[in-house]
Amino acid sequence: MSDTLFGKIIRREVPADIVYEDEDVLGFNDISPQAPLHVLFIPKKPLATIDDARADDALLLGRLMLAAAGYARAQGVAADGYRLVVNCNAHGGQTVFHLHVHLLAGRRMHWPPG
Ligand code: 5GP
């Protein structure tokens, strides 16, 4: 199990506002929301970055994306739209090295991102 902050959230050693959980995926509100809805979806398997994922993680990655999309639909933000973001390593702006998908919704997003 990952010894990162998010590993501790999975093990309930660090509190988080958990809004989604299934066998493979946990979703919790970002502590510093960048949109009215900002949820982080993480695999319970401790992959540090998307660069660490391999072919046998394909099903898990699919479940991760579907969890985020399903949550957005359930929250009623899918029709207006939303953004899913995966930051990878330094240039991607990744700060927590347990793979996570940001779900950002509730406002119009800008492009290109900063
Ligand atoms: P990254 O920059 O790695 O893509 O995203 C890490 C995210 O984790 C950031 O959006 C940051 O606000 C969030 N975060 C950092 N520490 C905590 C925490 O203790 N609890 C929660 N819920 N989110 C956190």
In this prediction, residues 106-110 reach a mean pLDDT of 97
What pLDDT does 17 receive? 98
50 close to ligand 1 (CB < 6 Angstrom):
no
Catalytic pick from 38, 91, 98, 100? 100
In this prediction, residues 32-55 reach a mean pLDDT of 98
Q: How far is the CA of 57 from the centre of ligand 1 (A)?
A: 23
Domains and CATH numbers, the chain: 5-105 (3.30.428.10)
Q: How far is the CA of 32 from the centre of ligand 1 (A)?
A: 7
Residues 59-101: pLDDT tens digits? 999 999 999 999 999 999 999 999 999 999 999 999 999 999 9
pLDDT for residue 2 is more than 80: no
pTM, 2 dp: 0.98
pLDDT for residue 32 is more than 60: yes
Do strands 82-85 and 101-105 pair parallel, antiparallel, or not at all (unpaired)? antiparallel
Mean of all residue pLDDT scores within the chain: 97
What pLDDT does 114 receive? 81
86 close to ligand 1 (CB < 6 Angstrom):
no
In this prediction, residues 28-50 reach a mean pLDDT of 98
Instruction: Say whether 100 is catalytic.
Output: yes
Q: How far is the CA of 29 from the centre of ligand 1 (A)?
A: 9
